[in-house]
A and B are shown apart, each in its own frame.
Chain A
C-alpha cells in the first residue's frame, strides 16, 4: 500500500512540481493552496505525511501544523515544513510545534525524496 502525501503551498508552480515528483515516486498525492484548504483536505484525505509551506495566506504553516497535531484522527502523521526563510528561529519554532523535518527552499528534489522515504520508513 502506497503512502499518502498532502502537498500544501500557495505557489502553484511549486505545487505542480512537487505533485509530479511525488507521484513519480509512487505516492498518492493530494494538494492544497492555503492553510484552510490544507486542514480540510487533511481531514478527508488522511495523509501519512504533509509537506507544508510556512508562508501562506489565511493560515500560516505553523498554525496548520499545530492544528494537525491537535487532531487525534491524524495522530502519527509526519509533517515536513518547507520554508523560503531560513532563519534559525523559524526552524526551532517549527520543530517545537511538532514538525518532523524542516527543509529550506530551494531544495534538492533527491534530498527531499530521500527525507520523505526515511520518514515514512
Chain B
C-alpha cells in the first residue's frame, strides 16, 4: 500500500501545492493585493518555530522526561505574552532602518560594522547547521519508517548507510532545490518573500492539524479519553515515573534554563527574526500574534503527553524510538492514511524550518559575508558594476546549497550522538549569544562596536568549548579524554565542568559561562570608551531619545553627480548649481564637473543643505550619499522631503496663526470702536429727537387748542400764536445747526478761504449784536484792536464763531450788571481772541463737556441753575470751525468768577504772502484753497447759527 513511490508522490504533490500557494501569493503581492497582510497569517507563520523537533521530538522528550518538553514552548509564550515590547521595538527599528537579517541588525546598530555582520553570520551558520541536520534526519527517518509499512522498523544509524542510498541526502537535495525556487526567484529590495510566508502559514496549519489528528486518534480511537490513558499509565511503574519528574534541584534549574533559552530562540533564531521582523507587514499584527501564537503552541502541545504515554504503554521498552511514536502509533494500528498525513505534517514542519532558515542564512551569508569580501577584491571590479542583482542571486543560491550540504554533513557525521532535543538545544544556545548585543543595542545607548565584537567572540568561544566541542567528542571526532580530563589534561578546563563548576546540566553550564563572558565583555569593553559619532548616531536611531550626533568631518566622500542632485532637491536646480559653481571657483576650478569627489565637497554640500533643512537633516542627507547606508537614497530623500515640507508647513502655519491673532486683536479693537461709535450715534439721534420734539410739542399743543376752541379771547390767541412762531423759529434754527454740524463733521462743508482781518470780524459781529446787548442792558467792551491781525480763514465761518461766543456770553451774564469784553492780540505765529464775561462761570469739570453736542454745561452736572436757552450746538460748531483752520478753542474759568472763551488761529504774514499761504492750504487739503485767491471778499453779512 504505502510503497516508496506513493510517499514520494504525495510529498511532491504537497510541495507542488505549497509552491502554487507561494506563486499565487507573490502574484497577488505584485498586484498590490497582499495575501499575507493579515494578522492571522502573521501569527500562523510564526508557527515556523515548531519544527520536526516539536512534531516528533516533543513526544520523545515527554516519553523520557514527562512534562520536561514544556519549557521549550513556555519561553516563546512568555516572550509574546509579556515581552511584546521588545519585538515591537525590533520591528519598528528594523522597518525604519531597512534591516534584512539579524546580522544586519547587529552590524547596523554598532556603526554598520562589517566585522560584526560577518561575525554574527558565522555564529548563526555554525549554530544553526546542527538544527538543519536535525530536520534532515527527521524527514529521512520518517520516510524510512513509513516506507517499511506495515512493519515497524527503526532506521539504521546514518553513518551505516552508503551515501547514495541515504534518503537524507536526497531529502537535502530536494529541500535545497525547493528553497532556491522559493527564496531566490527574484531579488527583492526589502528581502521580503510574501509567497514564502503564505506557504509557511499553510504548513503551520497542516502540521497542527496532523498532530491534533494523531492526538485525537490515540486518545479517543485507541483509548477511552485522556483520563483512561493516565489511569493505565499510572498502573505501570516504569511509565508512571514520567509523570513525577523533576525530583532534583538541577532539574528545576534546567527548566529555567530551557525557558530562558527558548525565549531568546524565538526572538533571535534567523528564521524567527525573518518571519517575525523582516516579513512583518504591519507592526499592528503583533497585537493579534501576542495571544494567537501562544495559543498555537498550546494546541500543538495538547496531545504530547497522552501520545507519549500511549506509545510507552503500547511498545515494549526500547523497541521503538519514542521520537517516532507520532508516526508509529497510527502505523501499528493500520491507519495508513493517518500515517501518511502525519508524514506530510512532519514534512511541513521540516520544510518550513529549512526553507525559512536557509533563506535567512543565505541572505546573511550573501550580504554580510560574501559581498563585503568580493567588493574588497578590487581585481573583480565589482564596485564599478551597475547591476549586481544577478550575482547576488547566484551567491544566495550557492549559499543555500552549501548550508544544506553542511547540514547533511553534520547529520552524517555527528547526528547520531544525541537525541533530537539535544541538537536543537545546541542551536538555541548558539543564538542566545546574540541576546546581549541585540537587546542591549535596542535599549542601551552605551554599546560600542568593540564591546559587541568582544561579547560575541567571548560567548561564541565558550559556547563552542563547552557545548559544540563536547558534542564532537561524543561523536568520536575528538578524544573522549577531552571531556573527562579537560584540554591538555588540565582539570580546570574540563569543558563541561569549567573552572570546577559542577552540578549543572551541560546546557545550563554552557549558558552560565558563555552568557556571563558575553555580557561581561560586551558591557565592559563598551564602557572603555564613549561611542564614536557613527555608533552614537546609530544608537539614537535604534534606542531613540536624544538628537543625532554632532557634526564631525567626513571620512568618506561622494562626487558631484550624487551631491548636486541631492542639493537641488532641496534648494532648487538653479541655487544648487550656483552654489556648487561658487565652490568650484573658490577652488580655482572652471566648472562644477571638475570638482573632485572629496571630503571637502561633502562638507560644502552639507553646509549648503544645512541652510535649507537644518544641520542634523543635512548630515543625514549627505551621509546617505557619502557612506554606505542601509537606507536607499530615494527613501532618505522621501523621508526628509516630507520632513522639510512638514517643517515648512508648520512654520507657515505658525506665521499664519500669529497673523490671525494680530488680525483678531485689530478686529476686536475695530469692533469696540464701532460699537462705541454706534452707541454715540444712538445717543446723538436720541438727543436730536428730544431737541426736535420739544418745540414741536408746544407748537402742536397750541395749534390744536386754537383749532378746537375758536372762542379763545384775542389776547390769549395772540400770545399763543407768538409762542408758536418763536418755537417754529427755534425748530428751524435747530435743524439748520444740525445740518451744519453734520456737514462740518463729514467734511462736506464748503469753505471760502481768504485773508481775513480778525479785528474787522470782531467789530462786525459786535455791531450785529448791539441791539441784543442793549435789550439786556449789558455792556460790551472792546479792547483796542490793532490792524493787521490777519489770518487765512473763511470770513463767514469766523463771523459765526464770534457771534456765537458773544451771544453765549450775553446769555449767561446777569441783566443790567452784566459785562462782556472782547480782546485780540497777535504774535508772530498766531492771532489770539478772548471773550470775557462776568457770568456765573463754568466748573472746571465742565470745561470740555460744554463743547460736546447738546451739552450746554447743564446736561447731568447741574452747574447752572437755569436751563440755558439755545440748541447746545453753538460751541461744538465753533470748535469744528476753529480746528478746521488748525486753531484751538477753549474756555478759562472758575465757577462763580466769570468765564473767558479763547481761540487762536495760526497767523499768516499778511496779504502779500498769499501764494505761500495758498500752497499751505492745498497741502493741508483745504477744499477751497484755489477759490480763496479769487474770492477774498466773501459774504460777510451772513450771520448764521447764533445761539440765541
Complex: how many Å from CA A109 to CA B699?
11
Contact call A10/B867, Cβ cutoff below 8 A: yes
A119 within 8 A of B: no
Contact call A85/B727, Cβ cutoff below 8 A: no
Which of A17, A24, A58 is in CB contact (< 8 Å) with B701? Answer: A17
Given the known interface contacts A10-B867, A57-B858, the answer about A106 and B689 at a Cβ–Cβ threshold of 8 Å is no
Scoring B residues 716 to 732 as 1 if CB is less than 8 Å from chain A, else 0, what string do you get?
A: 10001001001100000
Scoring B residues 236 to 272 as 1 if CB is less than 8 Å from chain A, else 0, what string do you get?
A: 0000000000000000000000000000000000000
A13 within 8 A of B: yes
Contact call B698/A21, Cβ cutoff below 8 A: no
Name the residue of chain B whose CB is nearest to the CB of A18.
B701
Contact call B697/A24, Cβ cutoff below 8 A: no
**Residues of the B chain whose Cβ atoms lie less than 8 Å from the Cβ of A87:** 686
A120 within 8 A of B: no
Contact call B686/A16, Cβ cutoff below 8 A: no
User: Number of contacting residues on B, CB 8 A?
Assistant: 28
Complex: how many Å from CA A55 to CA B697?
14
Name the residue of chain A whose CB is nearest to the CB of B700.
A106
Contact call B864/A13, Cβ cutoff below 8 A: no
B638 within 8 A of A: no
Min CB distance, B856 to chain A, in Å? 10
**Residues of the B chain whose Cβ atoms lie less than 8 Å from the Cβ of A85:** 686, 689-690
Contact call A84/B862, Cβ cutoff below 8 A: no
Chain A at the B interface: mostly helix, strand, loop or mixed? loop
Contact call B694/A14, Cβ cutoff below 8 A: yes
Contact call A84/B704, Cβ cutoff below 8 A: no
Contact call A24/B709, Cβ cutoff below 8 A: yes
Contact call A110/B704, Cβ cutoff below 8 A: yes
Contact call A84/B694, Cβ cutoff below 8 A: yes
**Residues of the A chain whose Cβ atoms lie less than 8 Å from the Cβ of B691:** 84
Min CB distance, B855 to chain A, in Å? 12
Contact call B696/A20, Cβ cutoff below 8 A: no
Min CB distance, B371 to chain A, in Å? 92
Contact call B727/A17, Cβ cutoff below 8 A: no
Min CB distance, A56 to chain B, in Å? 8
A108 within 8 A of B: yes
Min CB distance, B688 to chain A, in Å? 10
Scoring B residues 653 to 669 as 1 if CB is less than 8 Å from chain A, else 0, what string do you get?
A: 00000000000000000
Scoring A residues 78 to 90 as 1 if CB is less than 8 Å from chain B, else 0, what string do you get?
A: 0000001111000
Name the residue of chain A whose CB is nearest to the CB of B702.
A17
Min CB distance, B734 to chain A, in Å? 13
Contact call B727/A57, Cβ cutoff below 8 A: no
| Beta-carbon contacts under 8 Å, A45-79 to B | 55, 57-58
Given the known interface contacts A24-B709, A57-B867, the answer about A106 and B693 at a Cβ–Cβ threshold of 8 Å is yes
- The A/B interface has a contact count, at CB < 8 Å, of 69
| Beta-carbon contacts under 8 Å, B567-614 to A | none
Contact call A13/B723, Cβ cutoff below 8 A: yes
| Beta-carbon contacts under 8 Å, B723-774 to A | 723, 726-727
B227 within 8 A of A: no
Given the known interface contacts A57-B858, A108-B704, the answer about A14 and B689 at a Cβ–Cβ threshold of 8 Å is no
Given the known interface contacts A58-B862, A84-B689, A85-B690, the answer about A14 and B705 at a Cβ–Cβ threshold of 8 Å is no
Contact call B697/A106, Cβ cutoff below 8 A: yes
Name the residue of chain A whose CB is nearest to the CB of B861.
A57
Contact call B858/A21, Cβ cutoff below 8 A: no
Name the residue of chain B whose CB is nearest to the CB of A54.
B690
Name the residue of chain A whose CB is nearest to the CB of B726.
A13
Contact call B723/A21, Cβ cutoff below 8 A: no
Min CB distance, B91 to chain A, in Å? 72
Complex: how many Å from CA A48 to CA B800?
49
Complex: how many Å from CA A13 to CA B700?
11
Min CB distance, A83 to chain B, in Å? 8
**Residues of the B chain whose Cβ atoms lie less than 8 Å from the Cβ of A109:** 700-701, 704-705, 708
**Residues of the B chain whose Cβ atoms lie less than 8 Å from the Cβ of A58:** 862
Contact call B704/A105, Cβ cutoff below 8 A: no
Which of B700, B705, B858 is in CB contact (< 8 Å) with A20? Answer: B705
Contact call A86/B689, Cβ cutoff below 8 A: yes
**Residues of the A chain whose Cβ atoms lie less than 8 Å from the Cβ of B708:** 109-110
Contact call B858/A84, Cβ cutoff below 8 A: no
Contact call A11/B697, Cβ cutoff below 8 A: yes
Contact call B694/A11, Cβ cutoff below 8 A: yes
Min CB distance, A101 to chain B, in Å? 16
**Residues of the A chain whose Cβ atoms lie less than 8 Å from the Cβ of B686:** 85, 87
| Beta-carbon contacts under 8 Å, B511-533 to A | none
Scoring A residues 1 to 45 as 1 if CB is less than 8 Å from chain B, else 0, what string do you get?
A: 000000000110110111011001000000000000000000000
Name the residue of chain B whose CB is nearest to the CB of A34.
B867
Complex: how many Å from CA A104 to CA B704?
16
Contact call B698/A14, Cβ cutoff below 8 A: yes
Contact call B705/A17, Cβ cutoff below 8 A: yes
**Residues of the B chain whose Cβ atoms lie less than 8 Å from the Cβ of A84:** 689-691, 693-694, 697
Complex: how many Å from CA A14 to CA B720?
11
Name the residue of chain A whose CB is nearest to the CB of B724.
A13
**Residues of the B chain whose Cβ atoms lie less than 8 Å from the Cβ of A110:** 704, 708
**Residues of the B chain whose Cβ atoms lie less than 8 Å from the Cβ of A57:** 858, 862, 864, 866-867
Contact call B697/A107, Cβ cutoff below 8 A: yes
**Residues of the B chain whose Cβ atoms lie less than 8 Å from the Cβ of A10:** 867
Name the residue of chain B whose CB is nearest to the CB of A21.
B705
Min CB distance, B835 to chain A, in Å? 25
Name the residue of chain A whose CB is nearest to the CB of B686.
A85
| Beta-carbon contacts under 8 Å, A88-121 to B | 104-110
Contact call A14/B701, Cβ cutoff below 8 A: yes
Contact call B705/A105, Cβ cutoff below 8 A: no
**Residues of the B chain whose Cβ atoms lie less than 8 Å from the Cβ of A17:** 698, 701-702, 705, 720, 723
Given contacts A14-B697, A104-B693, 16 further A-B contacts (CB under 8 A): A11-B694, A13-B695, A13-B723, A13-B726, A13-B727, A16-B723, A17-B698, A21-B705, A57-B858, A58-B862, A84-B693, A86-B689, A106-B700, A107-B701, A109-B704, A109-B705
Question: Can you name 24 A-B residue pairings with CB atoms under 8 Å?
Answer: A11-B694, A13-B702, A13-B723, A14-B701, A16-B723, A17-B698, A17-B702, A20-B716, A21-B701, A24-B705, A57-B862, A57-B867, A84-B690, A84-B691, A84-B693, A85-B690, A87-B686, A104-B693, A105-B697, A106-B697, A108-B704, A109-B700, A109-B704, A110-B704
Residues on A close to B: CB < 8 A?
10-11, 13-14, 16-18, 20-21, 24, 55, 57-58, 84-87, 104-110
Residues on B close to A: CB < 8 A?
686, 689-691, 693-702, 704-705, 708-709, 716, 720, 723, 726-727, 858, 862, 864, 866-867
Top 10 A-B pairs ranked by shortest CB distance? A84-B693, A17-B701, A13-B698, A105-B697, A106-B697, A84-B690, A106-B700, A109-B704, A106-B696, A105-B693
